[in-house]
Amino acid sequence: MNTCSLRLLTLQDVDALRAIEKRNFSAPWSGRQLQESLSQHQGLGMVTPSGTLFGYAFFLLVFQEAQLLNLVIDQPWQRQGYGRILLHEVITQASAQGAECLLLEVRISNEAALGLYRSAHFQPIGTRRGYYATPTGTREDALVLRRSLTP
């Protein structure tokens, strides 16, 4: 694994975020959605030593509950431990800001993400029927996961 670093995302990252979205999701966030997320939520970016953005996460905190809105590592860097590093930083920051738990939704077919979240001690608490759009126009369920951030 190369030496990479984390930094806060800014509005200047929208084009790079949009490109990552298009490469990794069948229903990517729009540029406007990304801009709104940057202005309303907390965003962390994973960058190479040369400054290339290749992964990111958005999360928000409402009272003592954090919600992970999106976490993605771009395809060339997947399965190298970067997602784990990014998730750990989200957990650390949410906890430091007073969150008692972290919630997220994940496609039931996304085995790689499910494995990551299970290894980070997330537990299933429910299902959202038809939560995600698919390229064929059908809908896919989301599994709702929760992790306690308190001892």
What would the mean pLDDT of 81-108 be, rounded to a whole number?
A: 96
Flag whether pLDDT at 1 surpasses 60: no
Query: What's the rounded mean pLDDT across residues 8-28?
Result: 91
105 has catalytic annotation: yes
Catalytic entry in 21, 56, 82, 105: 105
pLDDT of residue 68: 97
pLDDT at residue 85 greater than cutoff 70: yes
Q: Which helix (DSSP H) or strand (DSSP E) does residue 45 occupy?
A: strand 42-47
- Which domains are seen in the chain, by residue range? 5-148 (3.40.630.30)
- Whether 111 is a known active-site residue: answer no
Residues of the chain above pLDDT 70, percent: 99
Q: Read off the pLDDT band of 129 (50, 70, 90).
A: very high
The band of 40, judged by pLDDT with boundaries at 50, 70 and 90, is confident
Give me the amino acid identity at 80: Q
Which of 117, 131, 132, 140 is labelled catalytic? 117
Question: CB-based contacts of 92: which residues, under 8 Å, 6+ apart?
Answer: none
28: three-class secondary structure by DSSP: coil
d(CA 74, CA 123): 25
